Structure 1
Amino acid sequence: MNPVSETQSQHDSAKDAFFMNIEDAYLTALKQNPVVENGRTRPQYCYYDGPLTDIVLHNFIQVPADNFSEFFSHNHLPIPELIAISHEGVVHFNEMPADIIDEIHQQRTQYKVVDYIHADSFFADPLLALNVAKQRNRIYCGHPTIDGLQICYYRGELPEHGIENLLHLELDQAIEFFVDTAYRLPTKIELPDELEDELKTSIRSGFETIVNEVKQQRRTLISQLLAQAKQVTPKFHDGEPLKIMLPSSRLTTVMQYCSRAVAKAFEKRGYQVWFYMEDGEMETNNLIKFYRNYIEFNPHVIFYVNQLNNLALNDKVTHISWWQDSMPQITEHKALRWRGNDYVFSISPVLDRHLALTGAKNIVRQHFAVDDEIFNTDGDIERQNKVVFVGSSYLNSVDLSRPEQREIVEIFIDKIDNGEIVTEAMAGEIAVRFGLPPAFVFWNLLHYAIRDYSVKWLCESTAMPVEIYGRYWEQDPDVAAHFNGELKHGTQVADVYRSARYALVSHPFEINSQRLAEAAACGCIPLVYDCRDVAEKPHWDDACLFFKTRWELLEILKTQVRPALSPTVIAERFTYTAAVDNFIKHSNIGELSQAKQSRISMFVGR
């Protein structure tokens, strides 16, 4: 280990350190030495090996030395670069061995959300709860990439701390608290090792009883709120616009941004809008909280993306659903309870057919939309002569170790590279031949063949740089060298499109996709898999470049041709303002507005 002088560590930018002495760690943590990281300043983290304490400094954390690498491999805390050792009253800082840091970084790259080891927990020891809460561990919430902040409930006493995920809860208050809160329930109980096994069993059994009682009381309360919501009729008040509620969830990717953008567009049209979602990373989508808010807001219209949720609605409440994905609610083809006030919008004929088989009537087309305040050609990013793809691999949706799946993919690739279009009917025939579910063959294997192989072909090009963004591409050796990680939807995606000349858009049966609209809005030329034979119009023939085969794609990149029209002409059709106008036109919102005005006029005329 290379020594670092104490004087240097005090005057240069501080580095996070692991202290062998607790007092040294505490005194250093008190100083709140600044660390500059990614352009931002934060306090220096001071880790130590020693007893737990009630010191509430966020940057003062106990880490067992014998579990050092394991500890840091399963969280997102800054990895200490220094080891602090006291000798004769002087603290000496030494560099952390590089192999230890490299090992932790390697483990973190393999630590996926679905593998997270932490859980929302109830701690019998408040000191342990405090130390764990400071770590701000992430937990799996049922989504492959969206996680949550670990909640640490504790009994006993602690000083005032201001740590948001550290919540005091005595067991005799647990039922009342959990029935009324939207915070997630703990799924783990942390008990001191020194407790007798019999006592541990008793405590766990008692807590299980509490959780079961909470769930029962929640079910009862939800039933009462459902009945109450059913009786609530929308009110018309003088001077107040129609109320529109748009529920969503943070455990969605594109859907929550879509709902938020629709809400903003309705608001611009003068409606009173409430975009409803969980408050932060510790809440679940709690039905009690939702229905209480719904009853209080009492909307005239409720709007969902990819969901029919009308069971608690009064008959006078309008329900609008905009279907963008093949959700189980419609692909199972079970009859759904569609009311006269339910208005249905869909992005494609494929979803139309699923919806019709559930009993939906009068399905209206509404393609994807983009937020033109984010996806546009504004800004000073220099456009480079490169091609990009933004989206996830389907590799995790298939199992190529199974010979029948591998053979079907090979059949699809042969057809695609011969310029054939594989229809849903053709995929169904192949599925029957191999004894696999038609839906799996169409939605998983065919989508994998078209998307993943077009990305592979893209990566073969030497004509210009290729950048791939999304999930799971690091698992594909043909793509990994061009993989640049995952982007947060919104500005990050738009900036990538604004920086590139071309963007790949590959879909088995759809031209008018979200990816097409976003790339085009940013002035990026779409390289589109040519499914015009089966895709719904418009096809934007003069604003896109089309390919059916590997050779055609590589030839476009080699010759670097451009379409006759700027791709931005496509974006004019795909704004959220236009989408909201379509929702208003093909629902009863306009009639409700007129009825409201008529009632007000009658009242004033008296």
Structure 2
Amino acid sequence: MNIDHNLTEDSFFESPQDAQKAAKQQSLIGPYQHLQICYYTGSKIITADENLIHLPSDFAAHLLELGTRPPTKIVKKNGSVVLLPKPYVQNLKPKTRATSGDICQFSQCIIDKLNEYEQLKEIHYQQLLIKVRSNPLDFNEKLRIYIGADYGGKVVLNNYRIIRDAAKAMGYEVLYDENSDVELMDDYRRVKTIAQFNPHITFNINRVRNHFLNEATFNVIWFQDHTLVLVDDSKIRLRERDNVYYLTQEINDCLIAKGVKANRQDFFLNSDVFKERSDVARSNKKIVFVGSSYKSRLEKYSRTNNLKILTNELLELFKQDWNVTESKLNQLLSSIELNEADFLAVPDFHVNELLDYFNRDLLLEEIVKHIDGYELEIYGDGWRDNQLLSPYHKGSVKYGEEISKKYNEAQFSLVPAGGYILQLRVIEAISSGCIPLAFDNRSSARIKPPYYQEAICYFNSPRQLKQQLKKTCYSDKDLTNIKADTHASAFLKKIEQKIRSTLQISKENTGQNQAMCARSRISR
């Protein structure tokens, strides 16, 4: 059978041999490049491939126990496919038929078992909810923290792991639940784990996830990105013990618009990984940039004529002045009337995607013309095809110790413009003893103090960067204070202080209510 890998999905194969062949390809699917799962039934194949999964003919309960992603496609022996409703099979009903392909006996049997799987899953989920919500919580015990980390975006995943390590080091009892490349991380898995662990605290990044919690559980929500819930028309419903934090002022503006009060929290690091290393020689003539190219974002902004005009007009603005003000940007956006067709072409339209490209790729292309006498090294994906920057591209680098070592080799790290001061790359560099050369956007209304001038060397154009380097702008920089502010332990201490304060207020209110009831009984 010929397999079209452009249409690769988690699939149930009628032929075990076809399943094995597809699994051997190790195809990656979806935005986070998960490993394709190849299911089959019949004679079991002995294999080390984790994505080749044998299921019994009556597989509903077994699939639920496995916890892997269910198939979204059935592949028959003749190569034809039956597509299943998405996401996964959650919309299937007992009498549902697949959306395409001929329904044969094999396909209908699989569909029936997937229906049974979903129904069984819902029954168990409701039973687990009852247990979670009725579990007593004793805050005199060692505090338990549950972290459910969905295998996906690298930055979010790394932050989950940093919180995990810091919490363990501080003496918390931590249950860190991260799904593998083939496992499904959904509410069922979270509730199943929470029912057993009974946490005092749950920790979420970019998600609220409070609808299945015990009312006594404290839920920490840290928004790092413009997720859908921040920009759509939905309401964010919070519990009394939900504590919300934001990374940037733009995110806070979205929260304010939805009536949510939140506190600021910058990125933090694992200081055991990002640190100064005495065994690494530092060159005072080396500049390091770590990050991927954003050129791939341009493609979708060329799908309509209006979007092409917007992109070209923005480019002209940047050619005139690298520091494009909000007023100039708003003036440009109001002059181009985007219509429904434009938003249909780019459903997740956000002008910041274009700004990020100009502020990173184009700025780097200009900077290399003004750093004579300095060695520039670029690490990350997407630079190989850039003729101006490919000579400086040194390949990719693994997150953690490898990045820290690269920063330890250099006097400076290059930080293009962003929506906030303490970007992740800034604090990674500072913690590794490397001074950030940051594009100066402090005049923006989005950027709030502190600005950490004692640790960061700012420039407002590539030409000014050249002048700054000549002045040895790093001679008076002090990285001490900012290192202390970027430890995950400081964030956890802040959270625990908030919890203790809430518990004390609750205790006092309970005492007052009991006293009032007693006085009422006496007066009667």
Structure 2 residue 455 is the aligned partner of structure 1 residue 565? no
Further displaced range: 523-532 or 208-217: 208-217
Distance 1:415 1:314 in 2: 56
Cα pair 2:317 2:324 within 8 Å, conserved: no
User: Match of 1:99?
Assistant: none
Cα 1:162/1:310, change in 2 over 3 Å: same
Cα pair 2:223 2:246 within 8 Å, conserved: yes
Distance 2:479 2:149 in 1: 31
Partner amino acid, structure 2, of 1:528: A
Distance 1:224 1:426 in 2: 56
Distance 1:398 1:405 in 2: 11
User: Match of 2:28?
Assistant: 139
Task: Pick from 26, 32, 37 the counterpart of residue 151 of structure 1.
Answer: 37
Q: Which aligned pairs between 1:177-576 and structure 2 lie closer than 5 A? A: 177-193=62-78, 201-236=104-139, 240-278=141-179, 280-332=180-232, 334-361=234-261, 363-378=262-277, 380-384=279-283, 385-399=285-299, 401=302, 402-414=307-319, 416-417=321-322, 420-423=323-326, 426-436=328-338, 440=349, 442-460=351-369, 461-534=371-444, 535-557=447-469, 561-576=473-488
Q: Deviations over 1:163-221 (max 9, x none)?
A: 543332232x22222233311223344444499x9998432343233334433443444
Distance 1:442 1:160 in 2: 51
Cα 1:119/1:352, change in 2 over 3 Å: closer
User: Match of 1:91?
Assistant: none
Task: Pick from 51, 66, 73 the counterpart of residue 165 of structure 1.
Answer: 51
Partner amino acid, structure 2, of 1:274: L
Cα pair 2:248 2:419 within 8 Å, conserved: no
Cα pair 1:249 1:285 within 8 Å, conserved: yes
1:557 Cα offset (Å): 4.6
Partner amino acid, structure 2, of 1:137: Q
**CA RMSD between the two structures:** 3.3
Q: Normalising to structure 2: TM-score of the pair?
A: 0.80
User: Match of 2:514?
Assistant: none
Distance 1:493 1:194 in 2: 45
User: Match of 1:58?
Assistant: none
Q: Deviations over 1:547-598 (max 9, x none)?
A: 111211233456654241244542222111122222223x2246559999xx
Cα 1:554/1:211, change in 2 over 3 Å: farther
What is the number of residues matched between the two proteins?
A: 473
1:117 Cα offset (Å): 5.6
Higher relative contact order (CA 8 A, sep 6+): 2
1:268 Cα offset (Å): 2.5
Partner amino acid, structure 1, of 2:235: A
Distance 1:411 1:529 in 2: 19
Cα pair 1:179 1:218 within 8 Å, conserved: yes
Bigger Rg, which one: 1
Distance 1:230 1:427 in 2: 49
Runs of 5+ consecutive residues of structure 2 not aligned to the other structure: 83-100, 508-524
Distance 1:350 1:467 in 2: 31
Distance 1:492 1:382 in 2: 14
Cα pair 2:435 2:456 within 8 Å, conserved: yes
Distance 2:321 2:128 in 1: 53
1:455 Cα offset (Å): 1.7
Distance 2:192 2:504 in 1: 25
Structure 2 residue 20 is the aligned partner of structure 1 residue 121? no
Partner amino acid, structure 2, of 1:381: V
Cα 1:210/1:407, change in 2 over 3 Å: same
Identity, in percent, stands at 25
Secondary structure (helix, strand or coil) at the match of 1:572 reads helix
User: Match of 1:51?
Assistant: none
